[in-house]
Amino acid sequence: MGADAAAALIGDGMTVAVSGFTPAGCPKAVPLALAAQVRSGQRKLRLTLLSGASTGEELDNAWAELGMIARRAPYMTSKALRAAVNGGAEEEIAYTDLHLGEFAQNARCGFYGKIDFALVEAAAITEEGNIVPTTALGCSQSWIDLADRVIVELNLRQPAALEGFHDVYRPADPPRREPIPLTGVGERIGTPYLSCPAEKIAAVVVSECEEKPRPFPPADAVSEAIARNIVRFLLREKEQGRLSADRVPLQSGVGAVANAVLLGLKDSPLEHLSFYSEVMQDGILDLIDAGKADFASATSLSLSKEGLARLFADIERYRGRLVLRDSEISNSAEVIRRLGVIAMNTAVEADIYGNVNSSQMNGSTVYNGIGGSGDYARNALISIFMTPSAAKGGRISCIVPMVTHVDHTEHDVDVLVTEQGWADLRGLSPKERARLIIERCAHPDYREALRAYFEAACAATHGAQTPHILSESFRFHENLAQSGTMREEKKGDAKC
C-alpha cells in the first residue's frame, strides 16, 4: 500500500504506537504522509502517540507542529513537542514522563487504554512473514501484540543484513512471569525478529526514507575533564578490590558528556569492557574497533550519520558484538541489578545532598524527560551522575542548595562527578555528602555561597539530618530569574 493510503487508515482520536527508540528504528513514511494530509487541510487529527522513547523529526516534530498530538508518552526530544508540552503552543499536549523500562508492561496491563495502530519499521520481512527490525527495538513487539492493526514500513535504505542483530523477548505478565533468563550481556533469550499474525497487518508500505540521526554532539574541555574523573573513579574501584568496569558492564547515557566518557575509556588502561545500556552511540564502535570493548547490548543503535555509514559499510565486523533488545529488557530492573551494571547518567542539576534533577527547568518546564535514567540509577551496582559544575558561561551553578525537581533521590546517587572532581557518596550521611559535594564538585565561583547556605541551614535546624531553610533553598534560582545569574549580587555585608 502507498504511504498516503496507509496513513488514511489512521482516524481522529486513535492511539498510535510506534517502533524504535530515539530517531533510530522509527517509522517515517506513514507519519510524514499523515502530516501532509493534515497540513493540506484535508484532515484534522488529535492522536495519542506512544513510542519506545523519543522519535525522529518525521514524527514528534512534524506532528506536534501541526497540533496532531493530544497525548504523548513515555519520552520526548523535539522542539515543537517540548513547546506544546510546556504550554507554548495553541494546542496543548498532555505528556506523561515515565520510566522507559516499565512502559511496555504497564501498557500490556491496560494502564493506557486500547492501541489502535502499531507502526513498525522493518529492514526485511522473512519468507515466514516475520519482521526484521531496523536500528532499534523499543516496545515494538508489545505494540504489535496490543494493537488492533499493524502497519509495517519496509525501509529499503535499511540493510537486510541487520537480520540477526536483534533479540526479541516476550515476557509473560504477572502473575505468571518467569525469571528473565538473561545472565550475561552477550546472551540471547529470544528471536531475531518481531512476529505478527498476518490478519493484523493493515498495510505494508515500501519506503526509502533516509535515517536522520541527530547531529553528533562535539566533546569539549569540560566533558573531557568529567570523563577523566569518571575513569579515575573506575580505576580506583578496581585498585581497591571492588567490582569495576573490567568485570561488570557499563551503562552510558546519551549526549556530549556520555560520548566523552566513551572516548576517555578508550584511552584508559581498562580492558574487556562491556555495555548494558539503552542507547549505543558512536563511541561504542570506537571501543570495539580499538579492542577495548568485547560486547554491547542496548535497545537502540543511535549513531551519527557517520557512525551509521561506518556500521553499514562493515556490518559483519560488528555482528556477534552488538545486540538490540526490547527496552523492557535493556532497562529491566531485574537484569540491571543481576549484571551489576555501573550506570553513568547526566544531571541537569544536583543538590548538595545528592538529589538529582534530570528533566525540569525551574521545577516547571520539562526539557526531555527522565528516560531510562531511573531504571539504571536505581538498580545499578554503582550509580554515577555527571554534570558540568556550571552552565551558561558560569551564570548557572549545576550544584544548588536544593534541586527544583527530583528525578533521582539521594538514595539513588552513589557518585557525583563534575569537571572539578568526584564525590563518592556511598555510606555517607547527608551532611557529610554536602561538605564533599561542595568542595569536590561545585564550581569554585559558587562554593562560598553553597557553604554559606549549608552552614546557615545547619544553624537554623540545629544540625538536622538534611538541613534546609525553605525560604532560602531556591535562592540560586530566584537570583537567576531576577538578574540572569545564580551569583549573589554584591551587597553591603561580607556574605557572598
Within positions 390 to 449, which residues make up the interface with its own copies, using CB under 8 A? 402, 404-411, 414, 426-429, 431-432
DSSP SS3 for 346: strand
Query: Footprint of its own copies on residues 330-389 (CB under 8 A)?
Result: 333-334, 337-340, 355, 360, 362-366, 370, 374, 378-379, 381
466 near its own copies, judged by CB under 8 A = yes
Rounded Cα distance, 161 and 147, in Å:
28
Rounded Cα distance, 59 and 32, in Å:
7
**Are the C-beta atoms of 76 and 59 separated by less than 8 Å?**
no
CB-based burial, 56-86: b 16+ in 10 Å, e otherwise: bbbbbbbbbbbbbbbbbbbbbbbebbbebbb
Options 198, 313, 470, 494; binder of its own copies; rule CB under 8 A? 470
In single-letter form, the type of residue at position 491 comes to: K
Please identify which of the residues 121, 153, 237, 278 carries the catalytic annotation.
278
Query: What is the pairing mode between strands 131-132 and 293-298?
Result: unpaired
**Closest separation in Å from C-beta 41 to its own copies:** 27
**Closest separation in Å from C-beta 242 to its own copies:** 5
325 near its own copies, judged by CB under 8 A = no
Half-sphere exposure for 164 (CA within 13 Å, toward CB): 9
95 near its own copies, judged by CB under 8 A = yes
**Closest separation in Å from C-beta 86 to its own copies:** 5
Sign of CA dihedral 63, 65, 67, 73: positive
**Are the C-beta atoms of 75 and 393 separated by less than 8 Å?**
no
DSSP SS3 for 316: helix
**Closest separation in Å from C-beta 175 to its own copies:** 5
484 near its own copies, judged by CB under 8 A = no
**Closest separation in Å from C-beta 339 to its own copies:** 6
109 near its own copies, judged by CB under 8 A = yes
**Are the C-beta atoms of 111 and 104 separated by less than 8 Å?**
no
Instruction: Cell numbers for 139, please give them.
Output: 516496545
Total residues at interface with its own copies (CB under 8 A)? 88
Pick between residue 379 and residue 420 the one whose CB is nearest to its own copies.
379
**Closest separation in Å from C-beta 140 to its own copies:** 20
Pick between residue 210 and residue 455 the one whose CB is nearest to its own copies.
455
173 near its own copies, judged by CB under 8 A = yes
Segment lying near its own copies (by CB under 8 A), choices 19-27, 95-103, 198-206, 392-400: 95-103
For the question of residue 488 being annotated catalytic, the response is no
Segment lying near its own copies (by CB under 8 A), choices 4-12, 79-87, 121-129, 186-194: 79-87
In single-letter form, the type of residue at position 257 comes to: V
Q: Which residue has the cell 554584591?
A: 490
Options 41, 174, 393, 444; binder of its own copies; rule CB under 8 A? 174
Instruction: Cell numbers for 414, please give them.
Output: 552513589
The count of other CB atoms within 10 Å of the CB of residue 25 is 34
Options 88, 129, 291, 484; binder of its own copies; rule CB under 8 A? 88
What mask of x and - would describe binding to its own copies in positions 33 to 72, judged by CB under 8 A?
A: --------------------------------------x-
Rounded Cα distance, 63 and 90, in Å:
13
DSSP single-letter state for residue 281: -
What mask of x and - would describe binding to its own copies in positions 218 to 247, judged by CB under 8 A?
A: ----------------------xxxx---x
Selection from 434, 267, 297, 287 nearest residue 376 by Cα: 297
Pick between residue 96 and residue 126 the one whose CB is nearest to its own copies.
96
Q: What is the rounded end-to-end Cα distance, in angstroms, of the chain?
A: 68
**Closest separation in Å from C-beta 239 to its own copies:** 12
Q: Which residues are designated catalytic? A: 278
